[in-house]
C-alpha cells in the first residue's frame, strides 16, 4: 500500500505542477514566439539596465522622440516638436494631444513629469535611465502639453537618450499604484503593444494595442499584422537554432555564426544580420603594466593580429573588421582610423626588436632582455601597477575575457597568431561583468575584453576619460580628455563630430585598444514573418511592422 | 523514534546554519556585487554607488550584517534581491513549482530506469542485454547533460517532430527535459543496483532459497531485491544534490523556468541575497531527503530497527 500511495502522490504533484503552467489566455491570432537570448534579472526600463528588456518593451512604450533607423535623424514621437535653447541648456517639448495610455489615462505633460520624478528619485536606484539624463536638474510644466527640461550644462546626447526605451513614458496611474518591485509586472505605456503578463523565467506576453495611431514616421502597419507575441528565454545557443528549425520559435537573435551559415541554405528561414552601433569587440590594453606599457609593443600587437582570419573563421564573414573604438554604424564614426594598422607580421617583429626583444627560447618565444627600461608612463590614473621585472623570462601576456560574444574563440585564435611573432598569451576567462570588473580592479592583465553598445559616441567617455569608471587601459591624457569632454558639451553636430574624430585618432595613435570586429546581431526568423526591422540602436525590433503570411501550419 | 526525529531535526538545523554561514561569508568576502555592476554599466559615479550600497546596509561591518542576516533567516525572511528589489521568498516561490515538477519527474524516470538498467546488467551479463545496459550506464555517467540534451532535441524534436523541445505548460513538455535529466541521474542508481544485486545473489541465504526449490523469479523479487535495496536508497538520496545541479543546465537547454535558472543568473549577476536563499533551500531539501532515506532504511532493514530498540 505504501509504495503505491507514494507513487500516486508523486504523480499527483507532477500533474498539479504542470497544470499550473497553462494559464495562457485566448489572445488574438496570429501569434508568434520571439526568442530572447538572455533572461534579464529585472524588466523595468526605468530601473534596470539590461539591453534584452528593450526587445519587448520598446514596443510597449513610446518615447518623446524617435530616431529614424535608416538615417539616424530625430523624428517626432510623443513630442510633436521641440526646441533647444541657444546655450544648449533647455529643451522645450510640445506634446501630442491625441495619445492615451493602455489603461485609458490621457497622455500629457504631467505624465512626463511623473516619469522624470520616478527616474531621478535616488531612492528608486535607477541603474541606467537616470544616468542617460546627464546633467538634468529639473523640469517645468508650461501647460498641459508643453514641458521644458533644464540642464546645468549643455549635454549633447540628451535627444538620443530620450529616444530610448529606458526613458519610455509609463502611465502615471500605474506608477502610483505599484511599487518598484511590482510595477514590472504591470507595465503600461502608449506603444503599439500592451503587456499581458510577465512570468519570470518563463514568458512575457504582448498583444497589439488596437487604438495605436501615433507612431513615428517609420512605423507602418503590415497586411495581416501579428497580434500576439510571446517572448521566451533561449539562453542556450544550440537550442535557439534547433527551435527555429522545428518552428517552436519564430524569430530569435544572436544565432551562432556557424549555425547561421547552415541556416542560410534553408528556404523556410530568413537571416537578418543587424550591425550594432557602439564599440566593436575589443581588447583594452593596460598601459600601466609591462610590456603593454610600451606604445611600440601595443602597436606591434595590433599589427600581429590577423583580423581578417578571425572574421572569416569565427564570424563566418558576417562581421566587418573593426579598426577603431567605434563600429562603422555609430554616430561620428571616423573612417580614417581604418588605415592605421594593417596586418603586417614583419613590421610587428621589427617593432618588437626595436624595443629590445631579439632573443628567442627553444619554443620560439621572445625573451625579455635584461636591463630593458619600461617606457615612461603618462600621469598616473588611479592606482599604479608596478611594471613587473621579468627580465630573462619568456615574454608572456595576460588576457582577461568574459565568456560571451565568441570572445573565448577570438582569444584562442589571437593566442596562436601571436605565437608566430614569439609572444605567449595566458587567457583567463571569468564568469560575468562583475568578475571582469574585479579582474580590472586587480590590474594584473595586459589585455581585457569589454565593449558597450549605443548609437551616441559619448559612450567612449566611460572607457577613455582619465577618471572614467571603465578606464581599464589606465591611460591618462589631457588631450584625449579635452576632446571627449568638449564633444559631450558641444551641440553643433559638425563640431561635435570633429572632436570625436580627433578622439578616435588619438586612441588609435596611442594603440589603447585592439579592435577586432564590428558587432552584428544575427537574427533568424521564419520566412512567414514579414516586416522584420530593427530600431536605430540595432537591438530592438519594430514589432509594429511585423506581419504574418497565412498558410497551413 | 522521538529521539531519532529530534536528532535529525538538530542535524538539519546545523546543516542549514553551516551552509548558509559559509555561503554568507564567501559571498561577502568576494569583491563586487550586483548593485555596483549594474550602476556602473548605467554610468553612475563611484560616490553614487557607495551611497546606494550604504542605503542597502552593505557598508556596515561584516559581523553586524551577519547577525542581521541570521535574525532574518530565523524569521524565515531571506531578504530582497539587489536587482529587482523583490523579496527572495517570492522569487523562489515563483520558480519552485517548475523545478519540483522537473526534479520529481526526472527522479521518477531515474529510479525506474536505474533499477531496470542495474537489474539487466546484474542478471544478463555478459549476454547482449547486459552489454547494452552497461553501455547506456556508462553513457549516463560520462556524457555531459548539455550534449545529450541537445542531441535529444535534435532527434526527437527537430528531426522526428515527436516531442516539443522547449516550453512548459503541459506534461508533454516535461518529457524530454525530465527524460534527459532522469537518464543521467539513473547512471549512479544503475551502478549501485548492479553491485548490490550481485553481492546479495552470492549471499548464503540466496543459495539456501535455491536449495529449498524456490523459483528464481520468486527469489529475485521477494528476497534479493529487498535485501539489496538499502544501498540503492542511499544513492537515490545522495543523487538529490546532482539532481538539483542538473536542473540548472536542463532548464537552460530546454527553455524552462525554475530554481536552477534563478540561481545561475543570481551567481553571474552577483545578486547575493538570491544566491543565499537558494543555498538555504538546497540545504533544507538535502537534509530532508536524507532524513527520509534514513527512515526508509529503518523500514526496509529490520536489523537497524532492532539495533536501535535494544
Q: How close A547 comes to chain B (CA, Å)?
A: 24
Q: How many structural domains are present in chain B?
A: 1
What is the full DSSP assignment across A64-84?
Answer: SEEE-TTT--EEESSEEEEEE
Give the C-alpha separation, B47 to B49, whole Å: 5
Among left, alpha and beta (phi > 0; psi -120 to 50; other), residue B57 is: left
A128 CB-near residues (< 8 Å, 6+ apart): A48, A49, A166, B38, B41, B42, B43
Query: Which of B36, B43, B162, B295 is the mutation pick for testing A, counting most A CBs within 10 A?
Result: B43
> In this structure, is residue B202 part of a structural domain?
yes
Q: Is the pLDDT of residue A14 over 70?
A: no
| pLDDT classification of A371: cutoffs 50, 70, 90 | low
**What average pLDDT does the structure give for chain B?**
85
Q: Locate cell 589571437: which residue?
A: A414
- Closest-approach residue (CA) in chain A for B149: A239
> In this structure, is residue B282 part of a structural domain?
yes
| Grid coordinates of A189 | 505605456
Considering only the beta carbons, identify the residue of B108, B254, B258 that sits closest to A10: B108
- Where, residue-wise, is CATH 3.40.190.10 in chain A? 31-275+522-548
Burial class (CB in 10 A: 0-12, 13-18, 19+), B142: exposed
Q: ∠A375-A381-A385 over CA atoms, to 5°? A: 60
CATH fold for the domain made of A31-275+522-548: D-Maltodextrin-Binding Protein; domain 2 (3.40.190)
Range of the domain at B144: 94-309
> In this structure, is residue B77 part of a structural domain?
no
Pairing of strands A228-233, A396-401: unpaired
pLDDT tens for A246-282 read 999 999 999 999 999 989 889 999 999 999 999 999 9
At A546, is the secondary structure helix, strand, or coil?
A: coil
Q: How close A15 comes to chain B (CA, Å)?
A: 7
Q: Is the pLDDT of residue B83 over 90?
A: no
Q: Is the pLDDT of residue A21 over 90?
A: no
Model's pTM, two decimal places?
A: 0.85
φ, ψ dihedrals at B286, nearest 5°: -60, -45
Q: pLDDT at position A380, please?
A: 40
Interface of A with B in 45-64 (CB under 8 A): 48-49
Q: How close B303 comes to chain A (CA, Å)?
A: 20
**What does the pLDDT average to over A415-422?**
94
- Where, residue-wise, is CATH 3.10.105.10 in chain A? 281-518
| Grid coordinates of A486 | 568638449
Q: pLDDT at position B310, please?
A: 54
Q: pLDDT at position A363, please?
A: 86
Q: Is the pLDDT of residue B142 over 70?
A: yes
Contact B71, A481 (CB under 8 A): no
Q: Is the pLDDT of residue A69 over 90?
A: yes
Considering only the beta carbons, identify the residue of B48, B84, B94 that sits closest to A42: B84
Q: pLDDT at position A550, please?
A: 87
How far, rounded to the nearest angstrom, does the alpha carbon of residue B150 sit from its chain's CA centroid? 21
- Closest-approach residue (CA) in chain A for B39: A127
> In this structure, is residue B57 part of a structural domain?
no
- Closest-approach residue (CA) in chain B for A433: B37
Q: Is the pLDDT of residue A10 over 50?
A: no
Considering only the beta carbons, identify the residue of B105, B166, B271 that sits closest to A239: B166
pLDDT tens for A502-536 read 999 999 999 999 999 999 999 999 999 999 999 99
Q: pLDDT at position A223, please?
A: 93
For the domain that residue B137 is a member of, what is the CATH number?
1.10.3720.10
Give the C-alpha separation, B294 to A232, whole Å: 41
Least confident of A94-98, A159-163, A196-200, A541-545: A196-200
- Closest-approach residue (CA) in chain A for B262: A201
At B213, is the secondary structure helix, strand, or coil?
A: coil
Q: Is the pLDDT of residue B20 over 70?
A: yes
> In this structure, is residue B71 part of a structural domain?
no
- The ipTM value here is 0.77
Architecture of domain A281-518: Roll (3.10)
Pairing of strands A396-401, A447-449: parallel
Q: Which of A267, A250, A184 is nearest to A36 (CA)?
A: A250
Share of chain A above pLDDT 70, in %: 92
Contact A504, A331 (CB under 8 A): no
| pLDDT classification of B231: cutoffs 50, 70, 90 | confident
Q: pLDDT at position A382, please?
A: 39
**What does the pLDDT average to over B129-144?**
90
Question: Is A441 within 8 Å of B91 when comparing Cβ atoms?
Answer: no
Q: pLDDT at position A513, please?
A: 97
What is the full DSSP assignment across A365-390?
Answer: PBBPPTTPPPPPP-S--SSPPPPP--
Q: pLDDT at position A56, please?
A: 97
pLDDT, greater one: B21 or B226: B21
Interface of A with B in 450-479 (CB under 8 A): 452, 462, 469-470
Contact B279, B19 (CB under 8 A): yes
**What does the pLDDT average to over A75-92?**
95
pLDDT, greater one: B302 or A50: A50
**What does the pLDDT average to over A390-412?**
90
Q: pLDDT at position A1, please?
A: 37
Interface of A with B in 199-238 (CB under 8 A): 199-202, 232-236, 238
Strand ordering across the sheet containing A136-143? A79-84, A90-95, A146-151, A136-143
Considering only the beta carbons, identify the residue of B95, B98, B165 that sits closest to A242: B165
> In this structure, is residue B219 part of a structural domain?
yes
pLDDT tens for B169-218 read 778 888 899 999 999 999 999 999 999 988 888 888 888 888 888 888 88
**What average pLDDT does the structure give for chain A?**
90
Query: Which of B34, B41, B260 is the mutation pick for testing A, counting most A CBs within 10 A?
Result: B41
- How many C-alpha atoms does B172 have within 13 Å on its Cβ side? 8
Q: pLDDT at position B306, please?
A: 62
Q: Is the pLDDT of residue A375 over 70?
A: no
Amino acid at each position: 500500500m505504501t509504495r503505491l500511495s507514494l507513487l500516486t502522490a508523486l504523480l499527483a504533484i507532477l500533474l498539479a505542477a504542470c497544470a499550473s503552467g497553462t494559464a495562457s489566455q485566448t489572445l488574438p491570432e496570429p501569434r508568434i514566439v520571439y526568442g530572447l537570448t538572455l533572461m534579464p534579472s529585472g524588466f523595468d526600463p526605468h530601473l534596470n539596465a539590461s539591453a534584452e528588456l528593450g526587445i519587448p518593451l520598446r514596443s510597449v512604450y513610446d518615447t518623446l522622440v524617435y530616431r529614424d533607423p535608416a538615417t539616424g535623424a530625430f523624428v517626432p514621437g510623443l513630442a510633436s516638436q521641440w526646441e533647444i535653447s541657444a546655450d544648449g541648456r533647455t529643451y522645450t517639448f510640445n506634446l501630442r494631444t491625441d495619445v492615451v495610455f493602455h489603461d485609458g489615462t490621457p497622455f500629457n505633460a504631467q505624465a512626463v513629469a511623473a516619469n522624470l520624478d520616478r527616474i531621478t528619485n535616488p531612492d528608486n536606484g535607477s541603474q541606467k535611465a537616470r544616468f542617460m539624463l546627464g546633467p538634468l536638474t529639473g523640469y517645468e510644466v508650461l501647460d498641459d502639453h508643453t514641458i521644458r527640461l533644464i540642464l546645468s550644462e549643455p549635454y549633447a546626447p540628451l535627444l538620443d537618450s530620450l529616444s530610448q526605451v529606458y526613458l519610455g513614458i509609463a502611465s502615471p496611474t500605474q506608477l502610483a499604484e505599484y511599487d518598484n518591485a511590482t510595477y514590472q509586472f504591470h507595465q503600461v505605456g502608449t506603444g503599439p503593444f500592451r503587456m499581458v503578463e510577465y512570468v519570470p523565467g518563463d514568458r512575457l506576453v504582448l498583444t497589439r494595442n488596437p487604438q495605436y495611431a501615433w507612431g513615428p514616421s517609420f512605423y507602418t502597419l503590415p497586411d495581416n499584422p501579428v497580434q500576439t507575441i510571446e517572448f521566451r528565454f533561449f539562453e542556450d545557443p544550440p537550442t535557439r537554432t534547433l527551435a527555429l528549425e522545428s518552428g517552436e520559435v519564430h524569430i530569435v537573435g544572436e544565432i551562432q555564426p556557424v549555425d547561421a551559415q547552415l541556416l542560410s541554405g534553408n528556404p523556410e528561414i530568413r537571416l537578418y544580420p543587424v550591425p550594432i552601433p557602439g564599440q566593436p569587440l575589443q581588447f583594452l590594453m593596460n598601459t600601466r603594466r609591462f610590456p603593454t606599457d610600451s606604445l611600440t609593443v601595443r602597436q606591434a600587437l595590433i599589427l600581429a593580429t590577423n583580423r581578417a582570419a578571425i572574421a572569416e573563421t569565427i564570424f563566418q564573414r558576417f562581421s566587418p573588421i573593426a579598426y577603431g573604438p567605434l563600429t562603422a554604424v555609430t554616430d561620428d564614426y571616423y573612417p580614417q582610423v581604418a588605415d592605421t594598422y594593417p596586418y603586417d607580421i614583419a613590421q610587428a617583429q621589427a617593432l618588437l626588436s626595436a624595443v629590445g626583444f631579439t632573443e628567442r627560447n627553444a619554443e620560439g618565444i621572445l625573451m625579455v632582455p635584461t636591463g630593458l627600461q619600461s617606457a615612461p608612463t603618462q600621469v598616473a590614473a588611479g592606482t599604479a601597477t608596478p611594471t613587473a621585472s621579468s627580465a630573462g623570462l619568456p615574454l608572456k601576456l595576460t588576457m582577461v575575457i568574459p565568456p560571451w560574444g565568441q570572445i573565448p574563440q577570438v582569444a584562442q585564435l589571437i593566442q596562436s597568431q601571436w605565437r608566430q611573432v614569439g609572444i605567449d598569451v595566458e587567457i583567463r576567462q571569468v564568469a560575468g561583468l562583475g568578475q571582469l570588473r574585479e579582474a580590472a580592479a586587480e590590474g594584473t592583465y595586459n589585455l581585457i575584453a569589454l565593449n558597450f553598445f549605443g548609437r551616441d559616441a559619448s559612450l567612449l567617455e566611460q572607457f577613455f576619460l582619465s577618471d572614467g569608471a571603465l578606464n581599464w587601459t589606465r591611460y591618462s591624457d589631457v588631450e584625449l580628455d579635452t576632446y571627449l569632454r568638449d564633444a559631450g558639451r558641444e551641440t553643433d553636430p559638425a563640431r561635435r563630430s570633429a572632436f570625436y574624430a580627433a578622439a578616435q585618432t588619438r586612441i588609435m595613435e596611442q594603440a589603447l585598444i585592439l579592435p577586432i570586429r564590428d558587432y552584428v546581431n544575427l537574427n533568424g526568423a521564419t520566412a512567414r514573418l514579414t516586416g522584420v526591422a530593427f530600431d536605430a540602436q540595432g537591438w530592438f525590433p519594430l514589432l509594429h511592422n511585423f506581419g504574418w503570411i497565412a498558410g497551413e501550419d | 523514534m522521538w529521539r531519532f526525529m529530534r536528532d535529525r531535526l538538530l542535524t538539519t538545523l546545523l546543516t542549514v546554519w553551516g551552509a548558509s554561514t559559509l555561503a554568507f561569508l564567501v559571498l561577502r568576502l568576494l569583491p563586487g556585487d550586483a548593485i555596483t555592476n549594474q550602476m556602473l554599466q548605467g554610468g553612475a559615479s563611484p560616490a553614487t554607488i557607495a551611497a546606494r550600497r550604504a542605503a542597502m546596509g552593505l557598508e556596515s561591518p561584516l559581523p553586524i550584517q551577519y547577525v542581521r542576516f541570521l535574525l532574518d533567516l530565523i524569521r524565515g525572511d531571506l531578504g530582497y534581491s539587489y536587482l529587482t528589489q523583490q523579496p527572495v521568498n517570492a522569487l523562489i516561490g515563483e520558480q519552485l513549482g517548475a523545478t519540483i515538477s522537473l526534479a520529481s519527474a526526472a527522479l521518477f524516470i531515474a529510479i525506474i530506469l536505474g533499477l531496470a538498467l542495474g537489474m539487466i546488467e546484474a542478471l544478463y551479463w555478459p549476454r547482449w542485454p547486459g552489454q547494452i545496459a552497461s553501455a547506456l550506464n556508462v553513457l549516463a555517467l560520462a556524457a555531459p547533460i548539455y550534449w545529450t540534451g541537445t542531441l535529444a532535441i535534435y532527434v526527437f524534436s527537430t528531426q522526428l517532430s515527436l516531442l516539443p523541445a522547449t516550453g512548459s505548460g503541459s506534461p508533454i513538455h516535461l518529457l524530454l527535459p525530465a527524460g534527459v535529466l532522469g537518464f543521467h541521474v539513473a547512471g549512479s542508481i544503475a551502478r549501485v543496483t548492479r553491485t548490490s544485486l550481485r553481492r546479495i545473489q552470492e549471499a548464503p541465504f540466496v543459495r539456501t532459497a535455491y536449495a529449498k526449490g524456490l523459483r528464481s523469479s520468486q527469489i529475485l523479487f521477494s528476497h534479493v531485491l529487498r535485501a539489496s535495496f538499502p544501498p540503492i536508497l542511499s544513492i537515490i538520496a545522495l543523487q538529490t544534490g546532482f539532481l538539483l545541479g542538473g536542473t540548472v543546465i536542463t532548464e537552460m537547454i530546454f527553455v524552462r523556468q525554475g530554481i536552477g535558472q534563478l540561481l545561475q543568473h543570481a551567481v553571474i549577476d552577483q545578486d547575493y541575497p538570491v544566491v543565499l536563499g537558494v543555498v538555504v533551500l538546497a540545504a533544507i531539501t538535502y537534509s530532508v531527503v536524507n532524513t527520509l532515506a534514513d527512515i526508509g532504511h529503518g523500514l526496509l532493514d529490520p536489523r537497524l530497527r532492532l539495533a536501535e530498540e535494544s
